[in-house]
Structure 1
Amino acid sequence: MRARKVPANTLADLAGEEWVDPTRRPYVRDGTAWVPVREGYPADENLPERTRYRGRGYHLVGDIAILHGDAPTKDELAAIVEHCRPRGVIRVKGYTGVMRIPDVEVLYGTAGEVRHREQGYTFILDPTRVMFAQGNRIEKARIASLVRPGERIADMFAGIGYFSIPAAMSGAQVHAMEINPIAFEYLQRNIMANNLADRVTGVLGDCREHLSGIYDRILMGHFDAPSMLADALAHVRSGSVLHVHSIGNATETIQKEVAKAGLEAAVTSRRVKKYGPHAWHMVQDVTIS
């Protein structure tokens, strides 16, 4: 791989540079990054191609590798470290409470705050302290593609901004609500990091108490979202769209809540990712008529 050697903390500043090959991932180690170079541009080094990784699955968030599920074997952990050279490897055992606080075990190296780049967005977070929905990447991109400039959007469970940021980058005015003060702090920082202070208004607290006015689109990215539909439906009009996340298909529950609110809606359901044995993370698009 033809690459240029740069300080790792400058990676975010290189996004969009003509010489950077966006089809390949930089190699990062000990504070230094080797950035892939497009053909026709000079490079500092020609790194040997790495062998294809076929080991235990993981997500790389910034320079921290994140595992879910059972603890890895020593060989599995060693293979991950050899493949991606992370600062640290952590295992997220689960998330607790309405604030979705991660229960984390550090398996290798050190953990802490990272600056993660994804699909052109910057997310600052500490994966040992807040949840990051890495598996929702396709859904984030889908929402961004659906948003139209000028839409007024409520993000009822904003977290660190993983739906708010893409929606705002697509031109929406986003009312982002988050109950976890640590996640809210990162939401505020991510709004600034993506230069979206004029498009995203963050509010700390229970979203049910902060919804206001009528929204064109409501993002409900929490598995308890179906139980809060009555609150959301008080802030819609004909043509508004709600994106309701759930474990399993929640269409029947949604239609009942819509009817209780004296409204009608078309509901389409799609799978986001596998959640567990015989269980899927679903999202229902609810278009009010």
Structure 2
Amino acid sequence: MHARKVPAAALADIADEEWVDPSRRPYVEGGIAWVPVREGYSADADLPERETYRGRGYHLLGDVAVVHGDAPTDEELAAIVEHCRPRGVVRVKGFIDAMRIPDIEVLYGTAGEVRHREQGYTFILDPTRVMFSQGNRNEKARIAALVRPGERVADMFAGIGYFTIPAAMSGARVHAMEINPIAFEYLQRNIMANHVADRVTAELGDCRDLLAGVYDRVLMGHFDAPSMLADALAHVREGSVLHVHSIGDVNETIQKEVAGAGFSAAVASRRVKKYGPHAWHMVQDVTIS
């Protein structure tokens, strides 16, 4: 692997440089980062390719590795540290109440605020304080591809901007609502970091009280979304699309709520990721007619 040597603290600053190969991860050790270089650009070293990792699953948020579920064994933890050289490893045991506050345990090193780059977006967050759903990566990309410039979009559960940022960068005018003050602070910072302040209106509070006017698209990225369909349907028109997240298929509930609001709808269901035994995280695309 061709790589350039840079201070680890400079990684965020050089992430968008033309010479950086975004398909490979930097190797960090002792405050120095070896950053993969695209073909045709000069490099400081030719590092040996690393062996394929086959251990306990994890994902990186910035320079912090995150695991879910049961605690890893000492051997599994050591393998994660050896593979990605993180600043810290945290285990997310679950999420607390509707604000989705992570219940975490620091297993190695230190955690705290990170600057995470994903699909051309920047997300500033502290994984010990707010949720970040890595499994929604493909869904974020799908929403970004569906949104059209000028659409008025409601993001009812904005969090730190998982869907708000991609939608705004695709040209939408986004009304982003978040009830958790900590997540809302990161949402505001991420709006600025991604230079979309002119296209996003962010509000702190319960989305049911903040919805206003009529939207072309409503993002409902929370498992409680089906219970709030009536609130969302009061702010749509013929042609509007709702993206309703849930555990399992909720087509029957959607059709009942849509009919109660005086509309009909075409519903397309798709699986986002496995949630548990015999249970899937689903999203239903609901086109109002």
TM value normalised by structure 2: 0.98
Is the aligned partner of 1:147 residue 2:152?
Answer: no
1:239-254 equivalences in 2 (<5 Å): 239-254=239-254
Unmatched runs of 5 consecutive residues or more in structure 1: none
Residue-by-residue CA offset, 1:24-57 (whole Å, 9 max, x unaligned):
2222233322111122211011111111100000
CA contact (8 A) 1:5 1:34 kept: yes
CA distance in 2, matches of 1:33, 1:270: 39
1:240-279 equivalences in 2 (<5 Å): 240-279=240-279
Secondary structure at the residue paired with 1:28?
Answer: strand
The one-letter amino acid of 1:182's match is: I
Is the aligned partner of 1:93 residue 2:93?
Answer: yes
CA contact (8 A) 1:219 1:243 kept: yes
Residue-by-residue CA offset, 1:57-103 (whole Å, 9 max, x unaligned):
00111001100011110000000000000000010000010100100
Shift of 1:202: 0.7
Match of 2:205 in 1: 205
Match of 2:8 in 1: 8
Match of 2:81 in 1: 81
Match of 1:169 in 2: 169
CA distance in 2, matches of 1:24, 1:14: 14
CA distance in 2, matches of 1:287, 1:151: 15
Shift of 1:122: 0.3
How large is the RMSD of aligned CA atoms in angstroms? 0.9
- Residues 1:22 and 1:75: Cα distance change in structure 2 (over 3 Å): same
The one-letter amino acid of 1:215's match is: Y
The one-letter amino acid of 2:9's match is: N
Match of 1:112 in 2: 112
TM value normalised by structure 1: 0.98
Is the aligned partner of 1:286 residue 2:286?
Answer: yes
Shift of 1:203: 0.2
Which deviates the most, 25-34 or 208-217?
25-34
Identity of aligned pairs, percent? 83
Residue-by-residue CA offset, 1:196-248 (whole Å, 9 max, x unaligned):
11011110000000000000000000000000000000000111000000000
Shift of 1:6: 1.2
CA contact (8 A) 1:67 1:89 kept: yes
Q: Work out the number of aligned pairs and report it.
A: 289
The one-letter amino acid of 2:223's match is: F
CA distance in 2, matches of 1:220, 1:284: 10
CA distance in 1, matches of 2:167, 2:254: 23
Match of 1:68 in 2: 68
Shift of 1:165: 0.2
The one-letter amino acid of 2:163's match is: F
CA contact (8 A) 1:29 1:86 kept: no
The one-letter amino acid of 1:121's match is: Y
CA distance in 1, matches of 2:31, 2:254: 49
Residue-by-residue CA offset, 1:12-31 (whole Å, 9 max, x unaligned):
33234222222222222333
Is the aligned partner of 1:18 residue 2:18?
Answer: yes
Match of 2:125 in 1: 125
CA distance in 2, matches of 1:16, 1:145: 21
CA distance in 1, matches of 2:60, 2:216: 34
CA contact (8 A) 1:113 1:124 kept: yes
Residue-by-residue CA offset, 1:93-135 (whole Å, 9 max, x unaligned):
0001010010000000001000000000000000000000111
